[in-house]
Structure formats: C-alpha cells, structure tokens
C-alpha cells in the first residue's frame, strides 16, 4: 500500500490527514503531539499498514490543517473537530495511538464514547500527575497567576532551538534525523502560530483537571493498553507510564532508551510492540 494524503472540510476547518492500509482492517487513529503534526508517524505507518487501517490527522493549528481566524484553540475544541471528522468518516470503532497533546484528545474521545475504543497505545501520552516532569510545576504557577510577560516567555517553546532540543534530548548522538524537526520549525514560523500555541499551553490545565476522569475510564473499561515510553523524556517521565498499571490490569509497559519523540529512534521497536499487543490476526 501507498500512503495517501487528504483534506476534508470539518465545519470551518480544513482537516489534513494521512491514510494507509485497507479499510477492511481495524482502524488505528494516530494523534500527534506538540510541536509536530501527522508527519511524525511517517516512519511508523509503513510498518503497520499490513495490520491496520491508519489515519493520522494534523490537529487544528498544526501542520497542514487550516482553521479560520476566529477558531478557538482549546483542547475541548480540538477534540470536537476530531470527533466530527470521525463521525463524517463513519468510524465507529478504532484503536488509539496517543502521544503528548494527542493523549488528552484521545482520552476525551474515549470518555465520550468508550465502546468505540478497541485498544490504546500511549507513547509518552500522559494522564497522571506523577508523569509530569519538572517544567510542569512552573506551568501550574502560570495557570494560577497568568501574566502577559509569562505568556511571552512561553512563546520560547516555539523557537527553533527549543524544538530541536525536544527531539534530541534523551537520545544518543547521531540517531535523530533533522527531517521532522525541520518541518516543525517551518510550520512554527507561519502566521499566528505562536499565539494559537500559547493558547493551548494555557489551556493544558484543563487536561490535568481531567486526569481523574481519564483514570476512572481505565478502571471501568480496562482496555488493552500499551505504554511504550521514551524513558529519558523530561516532559513526561516514566512514572506516567508505570501508573497505567494502577488503573488498568490490561496494561503492558515498555520503557525505551530514548527521549520525547520516541518514534525518531524506535519506530521498529514500537511497531513490533503494537503488532504483538493488538494485531487481531
């Protein structure tokens, strides 16, 4: 199979997405993180397309998905767009692959329609307070007492050097290609990107507030869950992966010697783990 690329109108949003694998196979929805887009799955998709029907959207405000000027950048709104897109696609059951920002969106979808979820891969997709690295204590202070100066400070998260460091921290020298972080840097230079992403940084507090509900979902429904985690990630630390075991006995935890963007170095390993864990054949 060959990966194909599509744009679909969802309300006022032109949603861009990648697709691979025949629709006769079980669907896996791949939800990317910050500051990336669906291209972060380009190394994984070819390794899974014989086993799953794969859909990887660019979230609103990221990559090649285009939103109107008055679009409100909150995680609830991003989830609404993805929910409406799934409905338009008549997709009723699917596996989730959630990473970073994709986790609170994916788990919102699971809360709203738990029967739709066939299984979950969480790759550094955190839903536990103990999984939050040191930087999050400073962000919590920002959420409690926001100022314009702090908002400007957090725009440094979109600087090229910061983006590169997100890819390289916790990895062995020479193991990460520049391809994906170069794309992310290019997208971050467009229009009001910094303003919209600053909105999402501030709104991230709503995700933390929902952690207890996400965890309650796991306790009630106990989906098969693979936590494939870059253990050297300073943002979402390994305790967040291990914590899944507390709420979901159907959890498999695999800590990998890499950083935040684990697919950059361990796509082969993660694909193998997914197939072993979820392949219906």
CA 180 to chain centroid: 15
The whole-angstrom separation of Cα 59 and Cα 17 is: 9
For residue range 55-77, what is the model confidence (pLDDT) as tens digits? 999 999 999 999 999 999 999 99
- Please answer whether residues 143 and 205 qualify as being in contact, where contact means their C-beta atoms are separated by less than 8 angstroms: yes
Burial class (CB in 10 A: 0-12, 13-18, 19+), 249: exposed
The tokens describing 35, both together, are: 């500051």
Q: What is the DSSP letter of 66?
A: B
pLDDT at 152: 84
The whole-angstrom separation of Cα 226 and Cα 99 is: 12
For residue range 104-152, what is the model confidence (pLDDT) as tens digits? 999 999 999 999 999 999 999 999 999 999 999 999 999 999 998 888 8
- Please answer whether residues 34 and 124 qualify as being in contact, where contact means their C-beta atoms are separated by less than 8 angstroms: no
What percent of the chain clears pLDDT 90, i.e. is strictly above it?
92
Pair type for strands 13-20 and 53-57: antiparallel
The tokens describing 21, both together, are: 């694998």
Show the beta-strand stretches assigned E in 91-198: 94-98, 117-122
- The catalytic site residues sit at 260
Asked if the model's pLDDT at residue 163 lies above 90, the reply is yes
- Please answer whether residues 170 and 234 qualify as being in contact, where contact means their C-beta atoms are separated by less than 8 angstroms: yes
The whole-angstrom separation of Cα 122 and Cα 247 is: 14
Residue in the block written with tokens 């993660």: 270
What percent of the chain clears pLDDT 70, i.e. is strictly above it?
99
DSSP 3-state percent helix, strand, coil across the chain (nearest 5): 45, 20, 35
Asked if the model's pLDDT at residue 1 lies above 70, the reply is no
> What value, to the nearest 5°, has the Cα angle with vertex 239 and ends 250 and 235?
120
The tokens describing 178, both together, are: 């520049």
- Please answer whether residues 274 and 121 qualify as being in contact, where contact means their C-beta atoms are separated by less than 8 angstroms: yes
Sketch the domain layout of the chain as residue ranges. Answer: 4-278
Q: Is the dihedral of CA 166, 2, 116, 224 positive or negative?
A: negative
Tell me what the pLDDT averaged over the chain comes to.
96
Second CATH level (architecture) for the domain 4-278: 3-Layer(aba) Sandwich (3.40)
- Give the helix/strand (H/E) hosting 55: strand 53-57
């Amino acid at each position: 199979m060959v990966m194909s690329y599509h744009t679909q109108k969802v309300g006022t949003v032109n949603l861009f997405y990648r697709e691979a694998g025949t629709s006769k196979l079980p669907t896996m929805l791949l939800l990317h993180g910050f500051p990336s887009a669906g291209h972060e799955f380009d190394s994984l998709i070819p390794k899974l397309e014989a086993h799953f029907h794969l859909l990887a959207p660019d979230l609103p405000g990221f990559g090649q998905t285009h939103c109107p000027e008055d679009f409100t950048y909150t995680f609830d709104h991003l989830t609404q767009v993805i929910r409406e897109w799934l409905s338009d696609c008549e997709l009723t059951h699917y596996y989730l692959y959630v990473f970073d920002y994709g986790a609170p969106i994916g788990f919102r979808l699971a809360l709203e329609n738990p029967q739709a979820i066939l299984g979950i891969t969480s790759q550094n997709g955190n839903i536990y307070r103990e999984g939050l690295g040191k930087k999050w204590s400073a962000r919590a202070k920002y959420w409690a007492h926001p100022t314009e100066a702090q908002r400007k400070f957090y725009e440094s998260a979109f600087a090229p050097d910061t983006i590169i460091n997100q890819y390289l921290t916790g990895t062995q020298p020479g193991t990460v290609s520049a391809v994906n972080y170069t794309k992310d840097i290019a997208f971050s230079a467009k229009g009001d990107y910094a303003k919209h992403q600053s909105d999402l940084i501030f709104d991230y507090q709503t995700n933390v507030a929902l952690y207890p509900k996400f965890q309650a979902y796991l306790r009630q429904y106990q989906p098969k869950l693979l936590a494939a985690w870059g253990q050297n990630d300073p943002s979402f630390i390994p305790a967040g992966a291990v914590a899944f075991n507390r709420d979901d006995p159907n959890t498999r935890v695999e800590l990998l010697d890499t950083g935040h963007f684990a697919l950059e170095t361990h796509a082969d390993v993660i694909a193998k783990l997914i197939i072993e864990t979820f392949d219906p054949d």
